[in-house]
Chain A
């Protein structure tokens, strides 16, 4: 918007300033605010709903901030929705692409005649052209994957379309559509995923007790709880988890642990049994 005069800006905004689903354009235009700059300060809120929460805009659909019981089922598409919808569509396309080779579909014997081949493809006749029991079709290894693909492909396409519509709407009303913020969150989550995998690798080396105490304390520190009090709480909590699951419930842990192998015989077997 830099470089445009106020008049140009106003005309651009006026041209786009209506909500196609709930507010008739005329009504929205009547309520057009004098201070149009507020339009660029929209906070993130539901597209397709004119219940703007943070702008000064007064429309024919007044904002209703009161939570209603109907809101229990309310669903809003937020930022990052389009990108995940693309991924889910990609997954569905992936499963569809491999349907022929990964479900036993293409390992079936095929007859020469095309009509017979087609009927056979749908499981209506067997290779000799005799009618097939419907139950036999249900038993085929490809039947259930076919059902899944039939559910997945249309729903992911539909979802992608709905997501795209919302994305366009957000762009039109100058709402944040960038995925940078979401990517930041996913990257932050990946850091913790790394710790989890690291912990999994450490358990056969250091044992369940030491690894859990180490991870518990480190995560507490990493998340910003760096006082001595929180350190003690995290150590005690980690120890309690080990006591509950390993000592009392005797969950399975690896039989050979490098650290325990360095201990004298009795202590080693004690540690292996209880920690």
Chain B
């Protein structure tokens, strides 16, 4: 309880409150503009967070993360274009409702479902903190270097398995990310790896340079070399409060989708896509009117939006508990932790429990604030859809410069960011996934760090897996790899992937 009150007290800082407001409203607007998305916004904001306090920075980024999915539902419903990639399924039923003249109802349902999903996972996390708080303090003893190493390996394997039809490409890009993480002088043995005697490479690549290049610059190039969309005119008709009462009539779908979102968010490497996929499929299977799915079914809309929004809070759990980010956005947030001198992982429960409460309560406030903003300003936020893509691209490029140049005013940083940006641009053109590169970079660093730190206690190979946690995790790894091989054999001849 003390930690809870201390956490609440942390949130009373005016800077934190301003960060919550800016993050929420900014995230909402970013989500509403197809073509930006939270990853790009967080990549651009990362360098600025260096100049802010740790909690202020994290709350700002969490605001962008949490609010963008609410915003992403607006273009998905009104013009059939998801604002963020995770709103893809929202278009199926949301746009169908809009075409029937029920845009207000669809938006209202999406807001209500998103709010329920977001609050459900936050409250679940807070309850877990209350219930298991005293035990979580002992988590540090349970999780050694080898256990966290295995958790990072599991995250990597799940990440690859989650890219169902292009696992080979995901593995390849993960390998590239991992290799980028290794470039530089090894800290313990002072041996240079792939530096080719270039002085800049001795300290390795800055994570921000890679992230800004791969996410933000690549998208800027992609937008500027593309064409402007010509979205149809969309009008928000009908009241936006109706969906809240409608949500009560779909309790089972809500609860099931929120559970999917929370569970999938906790599992590293899985994330929103799989959560909404499972949630939507299960909702259709349980529905009395499955034929309506894809043709304006409120259940379908609820399933996808609830699952999406349950993920952000849940995705913070592996990051905070194990120090292992499950997806790109939490991987970026690790930079803030590093700058703040907080090492995410089991020790955080012992040393900074108030910090954890602050984060989850901030997320709760963000959800409330976003909902309120949406209820009064949907009509105005919807106008953001019409900002031309190429104009956006130009300003993403200018903002990317801020991100890279402000680290150490280095032209070489900018050149490398451009190289990574060009690489990301090629990946985007081919529809290859970007996330494995960044997670390879972050998880690769964790794997190498934990390998070195835990090496002293490893005499034989079996020592890697002879602890309860590492043993369990390695068994799961074997199962997942077995599944990957089995599905690859099963799909042989159907698809070259």
Contact surface of A with B, Cβ cutoff 8 Å: 21-22, 48, 66-69, 72-78, 80-81, 84, 87-88, 91-92, 95, 98, 102-104, 107, 133-136, 138-139, 141, 143-145, 147-149, 151-152, 155-156, 158-159, 162, 165-166, 182, 185-186, 188-190, 192-193, 195-197, 199-201, 203-204, 212, 215-216, 219-220, 223-225, 230, 234, 237-238, 241, 245, 249-254
Q: In the complex where A75-B166, A102-B196, A185-B225 touch, is A69 in contact with B89 (Cβ < 8 A)?
A: yes
**Chain A residues, Cβ within 8 Å of B460:** 134
**Chain B residues, Cβ within 8 Å of A251:** 47-48, 51, 402, 406
**Chain B residues, Cβ within 8 Å of A250:** 51
State in angstroms the CA–CA spacing of A162 and B166 once bound together.
11
**Chain B residues, Cβ within 8 Å of A92:** 172, 175
Identify 15 residue pairs between A and B in the complex whose beta-carbon atoms are under 8 Å apart, listed by A's number: A69-B281, A75-B165, A135-B455, A138-B451, A138-B455, A144-B178, A151-B172, A151-B178, A199-B398, A200-B414, A216-B395, A223-B394, A237-B395, A245-B402, A253-B409
B351 within 8 A of A: no
State in angstroms the CA–CA spacing of A229 and B283 once bound together.
48
Closest 6 CB pairs of A and B: A135-B458, A135-B455, A151-B175, A155-B172, A251-B406, A219-B394
Residue in chain B with minimal CB distance to A215: B398
Residue in chain B with minimal CB distance to A225: B391
**Chain B residues, Cβ within 8 Å of A138:** 451-452, 454-455, 458
Select the residue from B280, B458, B461 with max chain A CB neighbours within 10 A.
B458
Task: Spot the interface stretch: B361-369, B419-427, B477-485.
Answer: B419-427
State in angstroms the CA–CA spacing of A155 and B494 once bound together.
20
Question: Which residues between 388 and 423 of chain B lie within 8 Å of chain A, taking CB atoms?
Answer: 388, 390-391, 393-395, 397-402, 405-409, 411, 414-415, 418, 421-422
Chain A: minimal CB distance from B429 (Å):
7
* Contacting pair B456 A135 (CB below 8 A): yes
B285 within 8 A of A: no
* Contacting pair B457 A135 (CB below 8 A): yes
Select the residue from B401, B431, B452, B464 with max chain A CB neighbours within 10 A.
B401
Residue in chain B with minimal CB distance to A148: B179
Question: Which residues between 156 and 192 of chain B lie within 8 Å of chain A, taking CB atoms?
Answer: 163-166, 168-169, 171-172, 174-176, 178-179, 182, 186, 188-189, 191-192
**Chain B residues, Cβ within 8 Å of A203:** 405
Q: In the complex where A145-B193, A159-B168, A220-B391 touch, is A192 in contact with B398 (Cβ < 8 A)?
A: no
**Given A136-B455, A148-B178, A197-B418, 18 new contacts (CB under 8 A):** A67-B92, A75-B165, A76-B431, A98-B196, A133-B459, A134-B461, A138-B452, A138-B455, A139-B188, A155-B168, A189-B422, A192-B220, A192-B224, A196-B400, A225-B391, A245-B402, A250-B51, A253-B405
**Chain B residues, Cβ within 8 Å of A166:** 496
Residue in chain A with minimal CB distance to B394: A219
**Chain B residues, Cβ within 8 Å of A212:** 398
B270 within 8 A of A: no
Q: In the complex where A145-B179, A238-B398 touch, is A95 in contact with B194 (Cβ < 8 A)?
A: yes
**Chain A residues, Cβ within 8 Å of B393:** 223
Q: In the complex where A21-B494, A220-B394 touch, is A73 in contact with B171 (Cβ < 8 A)?
A: no
State in angstroms the CA–CA spacing of A92 and B173 once bound together.
11
Chain B: minimal CB distance from A90 (Å):
12
* Contacting pair B391 A223 (CB below 8 A): yes
State in angstroms the CA–CA spacing of A69 and B432 once bound together.
19
Chain B: minimal CB distance from A100 (Å):
12
**Chain B residues, Cβ within 8 Å of A147:** 178
State in angstroms the CA–CA spacing of A216 and B401 once bound together.
12
Q: In the complex where A134-B463, A135-B459 touch, is A91 in contact with B176 (Cβ < 8 A)?
A: yes
Question: Which residues between 272 and 304 of chain B lie within 8 Å of chain A, taking CB atoms?
Answer: 273, 277, 280-281, 294
* Contacting pair B430 A84 (CB below 8 A): yes
State in angstroms the CA–CA spacing of A200 and B410 once bound together.
9
State in angstroms the CA–CA spacing of A199 and B220 once bound together.
15
Q: In the complex where A144-B448, A155-B175, A220-B391 touch, is A241 in contact with B409 (Cβ < 8 A)?
A: no
* Contacting pair A145 B182 (CB below 8 A): yes
Chain A: minimal CB distance from B145 (Å):
11
State in angstroms the CA–CA spacing of A224 and B394 once bound together.
12
| 8 Å CB contact of B397 from A98, A159, A196, A245 | A196
Select the residue from B52, B405, B415 with max chain A CB neighbours within 10 A.
B405
How many residue pairs at the A-B interface have CB separations less than 8 Å? 228
| 8 Å CB contact of A189 from B165, B425, B452 | B425
B378 within 8 A of A: no
* Contacting pair B273 A145 (CB below 8 A): no
* Contacting pair B458 A134 (CB below 8 A): yes
Select the residue from B189, B405, B461, B496 with max chain A CB neighbours within 10 A.
B496
State in angstroms the CA–CA spacing of A104 and B399 once bound together.
39
Chain A: minimal CB distance from B180 (Å):
9
Chain A: minimal CB distance from B291 (Å):
13
Chain A: minimal CB distance from B333 (Å):
18
**Chain A residues, Cβ within 8 Å of B224:** 188-189, 192, 219, 223
State in angstroms the CA–CA spacing of A247 and B217 once bound together.
23
**Chain A residues, Cβ within 8 Å of B398:** 199, 212, 215-216, 219, 238, 241
**Chain A residues, Cβ within 8 Å of B463:** 134-135
Chain A: minimal CB distance from B215 (Å):
15
Q: In the complex where A75-B165, A189-B425, A237-B395 touch, is A141 in contact with B273 (Cβ < 8 A)?
A: no
Residue in chain A with minimal CB distance to B426: A84
State in angstroms the CA–CA spacing of A220 and B395 once bound together.
9
B493 within 8 A of A: yes
* Contacting pair B176 A162 (CB below 8 A): no
**Chain B residues, Cβ within 8 Å of A220:** 391, 394
B497 within 8 A of A: yes
State in angstroms the CA–CA spacing of A21 and B407 once bound together.
51
Residue in chain A with minimal CB distance to B293: A69
* Contacting pair B459 A134 (CB below 8 A): yes
B206 within 8 A of A: no
What mask results when residues 435 to 461 of chain B are scored 1 for a CB within 8 Å of chain A, else 0?
000000000100110011011111111
B88 within 8 A of A: yes
**Chain A residues, Cβ within 8 Å of B281:** 69
